[in-house]
Amino acid sequence: MSALPPYASPLQRTWHYTFRLICGLIFFFLIFPIMVILPLSFNAENFFTFTKAMLALDPAGYSFKHYYDFFTNPDWQQALTNSVMIAPVATLLATSFGTLAAIGLSQSHVPYKPAIMAVLISPMIVPLIISAAGMYFFYSRIGLQGTYWGVVLAHAALGTPFVIITVTATLVGFDRSLVRASASLGANSVTTFFKVQMPLIIPGVVSGALFAFITSFDEVVVVLFLGSASQKTLPWQMFTGLREQISPTILAVASLMVAISIVLLTVLEMLRRRSERLRGLSPG
Amino acid sequence: MSDIPAGQVLLTTQDGRPLKAALATALRREKLRALALIAPLLIFVLITFIAPIGDMLFRSVENNIVPETLPRTVVALEEWDPATGQAPGEAVYAAFYEDMLIAVEQKTHTRLGSRLNYEEGGISSLFRKSGRRVDDMDPAVPFKEQFIEVDDDWGTVETWRVIKQFSSDYTAGYFLNAFDAERTAEGVELKPENERIYLYLFGRTLYLSSVITVSCLLLGYPVAYLLSALPLRSSNLLMILVLLPFWTSLLVRTSAWKVLLQQQGVINDFLVWIGVVDNLNRLVMINNQTGTIIAMTHILLPFMILPLYSVMKTISPSYVRAAKSLGANDWTAFWRVYFPQSVPGIGAGAVLVFILSIGYYITPELVGGTSGIFISNRIAYHISSSLNWGLAAALGTLLLVAVMVLFIVYDRIVGIDNVKLG
C-alpha cells in the first residue's frame, strides 16, 4: 500500500489514490474542528461563524476582544486560578503515590498482584458519572464535599492509573542488575533510588505526570458534583458557558487550550525520542 | 535433623541457618517491601475512590428513612396484612400519631413524604398536610377517625401498604424503578408502557454506543492501516493529526462541534453558500442524536485508531506478499490474509470505545438535546435536580455492572497490563 508498484493496473492505481483521498478526508474530520476555532476566536462579532469581513480578510473583521474578555472577566480569571491551584497539587499526589506503587508492582514477588492492579486501575475504567455520584455521596458524609481538598483528592485518584501505566511501561525495560550493582558498591536504597533508578525512569514519570495533570485540568464531571462555586475550574466555566448562554469567550479559551495541548504533545514527543535514544534505538 | 536422609548434606548459611529458611525469610522481606511501596497508593485509592463507589452501591438498597422516622408505626404495622383489604386498626394510628409528633418537631416528616412520593404520587402532600394538623389532635378521640378526617387517603389500604412495604432497612425498590418495574398487589410487574423510561434509556445508550463504535471502526480502520503501512517518518508526522485531538480538551472539542453544527454555524453556512441547502431549511444537526453521534465519534476515534495501529504494526507484510504470489488478487489477499490478523485490534478498539461511550455524560449533555442523551445524563439529573439519590445509585450500579462485564471482556482480549497510552 505504501508505494504503488510501477506495474500496477489502472484499477489498482485508482484505488490507491481513492484510498488516500478517503484517509485524507478522515484526517480532515479529525483535525478540522480543532483548527476551525482558532480563526473564529478572533471574530470581531459575537458570532460563531465566519463573517463577510473575515472571509474578505478585512482587518476590521478580526479582533482580540474575546481574549481581552477572558483576561479581564473575573469569572474566567477565578476559574483559571482555581484550575491552576487544583491541578498541580493533584498531579503531585498522583505522581508520587503512583510512581512508588509502580516500582512496588514491578518487583518479582508481589502477592495478590492482579487484585491490586484491578483496584489501582479502576478510577480509569469506572464511568466518570459513577465516580462523581459515589464521591458526591461519600464526600458529603465526611465533610469533604464542596472543599478544595475534596476536589484535589478526587482528581488525584482519577490521575493515578495513568501514572501507574506509564511508569510500569518504563520499568519493563529497566535492568534490575543496575540496582544490585549500585547496592554492591555501597549505596543505600534511597541513594540507589534517586541516583540510579529515578534518572532512568524519569521519562515515564514525567509523561505520567502530564497525563495526571491533563486529567485534572480537563476534568469537569467530578468537579461539577464535588465542588462548590468557589472551586469553579476552567472546564466547569466552559461547561456552564456552553450550556446556559453560549458566550464567544469560550472560543478564545478553547484556542488557548489547544495551544496548551500542542505544547504537551511536543514535550511528550521529545520524551519519547529521548527514551528511544537511551535504549539505543534511532528516533523515527 | 533426623528427617534428613543419610548421605545428604543440609545446606546452611554462614551463620548456620538452613538455606531454605533463609531464602523464605528473604522472600518474605521482599514481598513486604513491595507491598510497602504499593500500600500508600492502595490505601489512598481505597479511601478516595473505592469507598465512594461502595457507598453508592449501598445507597441503592439502603432504606432507613421509614424505620428511622416512624419506628413505632413500623412495629405496629407488622401485624397488619394488606391482603385483608381493610385499613389497619386503631393501634397503628396511635403509634403513627406518636411518631408524627416527634417527626413534625424535628421536621423530618416532609423528607419522609418526598421519599415515599417516589413510590406513590401524592404522599408528599399528604404528609405535609397531616404534619400541620397533628399538633391539634385530641388524644381522647380515636386517632383513626381524626387522621381520616384530615385526609381520606389515611383510610385507604394503598397508603399503608406503601408505608409497610418500605419499612424494612433495605429495599429493592430503587432497582425495580431502574428496571421500570413496580411492586403491585400481584407481585413485581413492569410499569404501564407509557411510564417506562429507563429500559428505553438503557436501550438508547447501548444503541447509540454501538452506532458510535461502528462509525469509529469504519473511520479508524483505513487510517490505522495507512499509518501502519507508511514508512515511519511520514507515519509519525500523520500520527500527530491523531494525537492532537487525543490530547485536546474534551470541552474544546465539544464546543468546536457546537460551533460547527449549529443552524447558523460553519457547516450550514457552507452548505447554503454552495447551494446544497436552502437558506430557510438549514439542517438540524445539533441537540439531537445526530449531534451526539458526530461529536462522540470524533472524540473517541483516536481510542480506536491507537489500538488498531499497534496491532497492525505487528502484521508482517510478507504474508500478504505470499498470498499475492500464490495468485490471490488484492481483495482476497486483504480479506483472507490481512484482515483476520487485524481482528484482535478491532476487538480491543471496539470494546474500548464502547466502554468509554456508554458512560459518557458531558458531550450528550451539551449536544444531545432530549433525543441524544444517555443514561448518565439521567443519573446526573437525579443527583442534582430531582434529588432521588437512591434511584441515581441504582441506575449507576446497573451501568457499573455493564461496564465491568465489558471490561472483563477487554481484559480477555487485550489484558489490562497491555494498555498503552499515546
pLDDT tens for B32-78 read: 989 999 999 999 999 999 999 999 999 898 887 888 888 888 888 88
Answer yes or no: do B103 and B230 share one domain: no
Residues of A in contact with B257 (CB under 8 A): 33
Q: Which pLDDT does position B420 carry in this prediction?
A: 58
> Are the C-beta atoms of A60 and A44 separated by less than 8 Å?
yes
Contact A34 B259 (CB under 8 A): no
CB-CB: which of A40, A123, A220 is closest to B49? A123
The grid cell for B108 is 423530618
CATH of the domain at B302: 1.10.3720.10
In the three-class reduction of DSSP (H, G, I as helix; E, B as strand; rest coil), residue B170 is classed as strand
pLDDT at B158 over 60: yes
**CA proximity to B250, closest of B364, B366, B363, B377:** B363
| B299 occurs within a structural domain | yes
Answer yes or no: do B139 and B244 share one domain: no
Residue B393 — pLDDT band, cuts 50, 70, 90?
very high
| B192 occurs within a structural domain | no
Contact B255 A103 (CB under 8 A): no
Compare all CA atoms of chain A with the CA of B364 and give the residue at the minimum distance.
A243
Contact status of A149 with chain B (Cβ, < 8 Å) = no
For A:129-148, CB contacts with B below 8 A are: 129-139, 141
Give the best residue of A11, A25, A26 to mutate against chain B (max B CB count within 10 A): A26
Contact status of A220 with chain B (Cβ, < 8 Å) = yes
Q: Which pLDDT does position B19 carry in this prediction?
A: 87
Residues of A in contact with B50 (CB under 8 A): 119, 122
- Write down the mean pLDDT value for chain A: 88
Contact B41 A101 (CB under 8 A): yes
The grid cell for B222 is 483505513
Residue B421 — pLDDT band, cuts 50, 70, 90?
low
Q: Which pLDDT does position B291 carry in this prediction?
A: 92
> Are the C-beta atoms of B415 and A261 separated by less than 8 Å?
no
Residues of B in contact with A116 (CB under 8 A): 38, 42
Compare all CA atoms of chain B with the CA of A258 and give the residue at the minimum distance.
B248
Contact A127 B399 (CB under 8 A): yes
Residue B329: count of CB within 10 angstroms of its CB = 11
Contact A221 B361 (CB under 8 A): yes
Q: Grid coordinates 509523561 are at which residue?
A: A207
Contact A251 B59 (CB under 8 A): no
Cα A196 to chain centroid, rounded: 28
Contact status of A116 with chain B (Cβ, < 8 Å) = yes
Compare all CA atoms of chain B with the CA of A128 and give the residue at the minimum distance.
B359
Q: Which pLDDT does position B232 carry in this prediction?
A: 86
What is the distance in angstroms between the Cα of B91 and the nearest Cα belonging to chain A? 37
Q: What is the dihedral of CA B231, B237, B242, B248, to 10 degrees?
A: 160
Higher-confidence position of B374 and B411: B374
pLDDT digits (tens, 9 = 90+) for B9-20: 777 877 778 888
- Write down the mean pLDDT value for chain B: 87
The grid cell for B84 is 385483608
Q: What is the CA radius of gyration of chain A?
A: 24
CB-CB: which of A47, A117, A251 is closest to B416? A117
Alpha helices in A142-197 (DSSP H): 148-172, 177-184, 189-192
CB-CB: which of B55, B243, B403 is closest to A127? B403
Q: Which pLDDT does position B3 carry in this prediction?
A: 55
d(CA A243, CA A116): 39
Answer yes or no: do B346 and B253 share one domain: yes
Q: Which pLDDT does position A82 carry in this prediction?
A: 95
Residues of A in contact with B255 (CB under 8 A): 37, 238, 242, 250-251, 254
d(CA B421, CA A207): 10
CB-CB: which of B236, B257, B259 is closest to A284? B236
Residues of A in contact with B333 (CB under 8 A): none
Residues of B in contact with A31 (CB under 8 A): 241, 244-245
The grid cell for A116 is 491490586
**CA proximity to A210, closest of A128, A129, A92:** A92
Q: Which pLDDT does position B11 carry in this prediction?
A: 79
| B189 occurs within a structural domain | no
Contact status of A210 with chain B (Cβ, < 8 Å) = no
Contact A135 B266 (CB under 8 A): no
CB-CB: which of B33, B56, B361 is closest to A128? B361
Answer yes or no: do B89 and B22 share one domain: no
What is the distance in angstroms between the Cα of A35 and the nearest Cα belonging to chain B? 9
Taking chain B, what is the end-to-end CA distance rounded to the nearest angstrom?
Answer: 59
Global pTM reads: 0.85
Answer yes or no: do B148 and B210 share one domain: no
Q: Grid coordinates 485508531 are at which residue?
A: B305
Phi first, then psi: what are they for B30, rounded to 5°?
Answer: -65, -45
Contact A130 B59 (CB under 8 A): no
Residue A47: count of CB within 10 angstroms of its CB = 15
| B77 occurs within a structural domain | yes
Q: Which pLDDT does position B340 carry in this prediction?
A: 93
Residue B140 — pLDDT band, cuts 50, 70, 90?
confident
Answer yes or no: do B240 and B352 share one domain: yes
Q: Which pLDDT does position B369 carry in this prediction?
A: 86
**CA proximity to A179, closest of A164, A195, A203:** A195
Answer yes or no: do B308 and B377 share one domain: yes
Contact A262 B407 (CB under 8 A): no
Contact status of A57 with chain B (Cβ, < 8 Å) = no
Q: Which pLDDT does position A33 carry in this prediction?
A: 93
pLDDT at A283 over 50: no
Angle B317-B323-B325 (CA atoms, 0-180°, nearest 5)?
100
Phi first, then psi: what are they for B313, rounded to 5°?
Answer: -60, -30
Higher-confidence position of A7 and B402: B402
The grid cell for B393 is 445509585
Contact B262 A284 (CB under 8 A): no
pLDDT at A173 over 80: no
**Mean pLDDT, residues A210-232:** 92
Strand partners, B189: B182
User: What is the domain extent for residue B305?
Assistant: 198-418
Contact B269 A135 (CB under 8 A): no
Residues of A in contact with B238 (CB under 8 A): 27
> Are the C-beta atoms of A87 and A216 separated by less than 8 Å?
yes
| B327 occurs within a structural domain | yes
CB-CB: which of B230, B247, B383 is closest to A225? B383
Contact status of A239 with chain B (Cβ, < 8 Å) = yes
Task: Burial-class residue B257 by CB neighbours within 10 Å (0-12, 13-18, 19+).
Answer: buried
Percent residues over pLDDT 90 in chain B: 40
Count of domains observed in chain B: 3
> Are the C-beta atoms of B209 and B290 separated by less than 8 Å?
no
pLDDT digits (tens, 9 = 90+) for B300-358: 999 999 999 999 999 998 999 999 999 999 899 999 999 999 998 999 999 999 999 99
d(CA A283, CA A236): 39
Answer yes or no: do B214 and B137 share one domain: no
pLDDT at B2 over 60: no
d(CA A237, CA B88): 55
Residues of B in contact with A101 (CB under 8 A): 37-38, 40-42
Residues of A in contact with B230 (CB under 8 A): 2
pLDDT at B1 over 50: no
Answer yes or no: do B229 and B154 share one domain: no
Q: How many CB pairs under 8 A join A and B?
A: 273
Answer yes or no: do B81 and B106 share one domain: yes
pLDDT at B377 over 70: yes
d(CA B167, CA B96): 13
Answer yes or no: do B90 and B219 share one domain: no
d(CA A283, CA B1): 61
Final residue of a structural domain among B5, B24, B59:
B59
| B216 occurs within a structural domain | yes
**Mean pLDDT, residues B156-160:** 83
| B32 occurs within a structural domain | yes
**CA proximity to A51, closest of B269, B285, B252, B261:** B269
Contact status of A267 with chain B (Cβ, < 8 Å) = no
What is the distance in angstroms between the Cα of A41 and the nearest Cα belonging to chain B? 11
Contact A126 B330 (CB under 8 A): no
d(CA A242, CA B367): 10
Give the best residue of B228, B235, B249 to mutate against chain A (max A CB count within 10 A): B249
| B190 occurs within a structural domain | no
Residue B179 — pLDDT band, cuts 50, 70, 90?
confident
Percent residues over pLDDT 70 in chain A: 96
pLDDT at B204 over 50: yes
Answer yes or no: do B243 and B313 share one domain: yes
Q: Complex ipTM above 0.90?
A: no
Contact status of A55 with chain B (Cβ, < 8 Å) = no
Which range is most confident: A30-39, A241-250, B210-219? Answer: B210-219
Contact B254 A242 (CB under 8 A): yes
Q: Which pLDDT does position A281 carry in this prediction?
A: 54
**CA proximity to B149, closest of B137, B162, B159, B165:** B137
Residue A158 — pLDDT band, cuts 50, 70, 90?
very high
